[in-house]
Amino acid sequence: MINEEELLKIENIKRKYPDSKAALMPVLYFFQEKYGFISDDSIKEISQLLKISEVDIKGVVSFYEMFHEKPKGKYIVQVCTNISCMLCNSENILKAVEKKLGIKCGETTKDNLFTLEEVECLGSCGTAPVISINNRYYENMTEEKINSLFDNLK
């Protein structure tokens, strides 16, 4: 359940739009940041807060790559493999990350620390290859940089 202070935050989000339904995406981000994912309980709560049916909310959540209905690792590690990164060695970067974390793309480490994903162009092609960790970019990656990057995170 959300508390009064959080309710106030949500009211402030709603004020940006003439129709409170439009607050759905920012409110989804709000719940995802709080709980780590969008649970069925959260969907029920959001449904009451914004007067949107649960089915409609699910339709929105499932459409977007960045909303997830199941918990992921503490760090979501995304390796871009689109063409500008591909031309700059992203395949080997991905392999090196897989080796470092001991998991394949789409998997989460046993300690729930890392989830690894292959993603589309991150809009950082001029500093390819690029890795994003919890939406912070690590640009001009090299295989050598990977070890220290992950050791510093733990």
Query: Which residues are at the interface with ligand FES (CB under 6 A)?
Result: 80, 82-85, 121-125, 128, 130
Q: Which does 76 bind (CB under 5 to 8 A by kind): other proteins, ligand FES, none?
A: none
Using CB under 8 A as the binding rule, whether residue 70 contacts other proteins is answered as no
Q: Which is nearer to other proteins, 4 or 19 (CB)?
A: 19
Q: How far is the CB of 110 from other proteins (least distance, A)?
A: 26
Residue from the set 70, 110, 136, 154 that interacts with other proteins by CB under 8 A: 136
Each residue 33-52 as x (binds other proteins by CB under 8 A) or -, in order, gives -----------------x-x
Q: Which does 47 bind (CB under 5 to 8 A by kind): ligand FES, other proteins, none?
A: none
Give exposure, 106-143, as e/b (b: 16+ Cβ within 10 Å). eebbeeeebbbeebeebebbeebbbbbeeeeebeebee
CA distances from 4 to 27, 33, 46 (A): 15, 17, 15
Coil vs helix vs strand at 149: helix
Q: Phi first, then psi: what are they for 39, rounded to 5°?
A: -85, 165
Peptide bond into 18 cis (omega under 30): no
Q: Which is nearer to other proteins, 73 or 129 (CB)?
A: 129
How many residues are listed for the chain in this entry?
Answer: 154
Q: Which does 33 bind (CB under 5 to 8 A by kind): ligand FES, other proteins, none?
A: none
